[in-house]
Amino acid sequence: MKPLTEDDIRTSIVNAEPEIVARMPLPGLHETLWDAREYLGWRDPQAPQRGYIVYWRDDTPVGMVVRASDSQMSRAPSAICSLCRTQQPGHQVALFGVSKAGEAGRNGNSVGTYICADLACSTIIRIVPPASDMQPDPADIVASRAAGLLARLDSFTNEVLKSAA
């Protein structure tokens, strides 16, 4: 992922009012390992249900405010993140609702999907089995997972940007 600046992030948000974007806390951008992620995702420490996802769509950063459901999945079953497609304990995956962009979002329309609760899919996809004669090269596994993650994130973003019909 190409690095993002504070201005890139704040101007990229497609589904929030300017006052929310202005108050949005940012993660430590100087600490971010940009080469080890497909998107920048973080939770708001002042509003724990709120999170943010920003990524590059071609040469344009696109971001959205996401909101985790107030209820959690049970600890017993496992769940699968819709973005990274990783199976995890149920409490590590959350249903996130996302207001649609523009007039549709102002009218209360939203979409939702299950995402890693900590928004750290980029880290999860890099956990691979050791290389062996029976497994593909770990770098190939990560590249394949990264491409799938970005394709699914792009598809979800299309739903956020789509006008209400």
Instruction: Specify the pTM.
Output: 0.91
- Is residue 18 over pLDDT 60? yes
> Quick check: is 80 in a domain?
yes
Residue 118 lies in a domain: yes
* Domain tally, the chain: 1
- On whether residue 1 sits in a domain, the answer given is no
* Residue 111 structural domain: 6-161
Q: Report in angstroms the alpha-carbon separations of 81 from 6, 10, 103.
A: 27, 26, 28
Let me know if residue 90 belongs to a domain: yes
User: Considering the domain boundaries, does residue 92 fall inside one?
Assistant: yes
pLDDT tens digit sequence for 124-165: 999 987 777 787 888 899 999 999 999 999 999 999 999 755
Kindly provide the residue ranges of all beta strands, DSSP E only, lying in 85-125, ordered along the sequence. 87-89, 93-99, 110-116
* Residue count of the chain: 165
Does residue 64 fall inside a structural domain? Answer: yes
Q: What is the mean pLDDT of residues 22-34?
A: 95
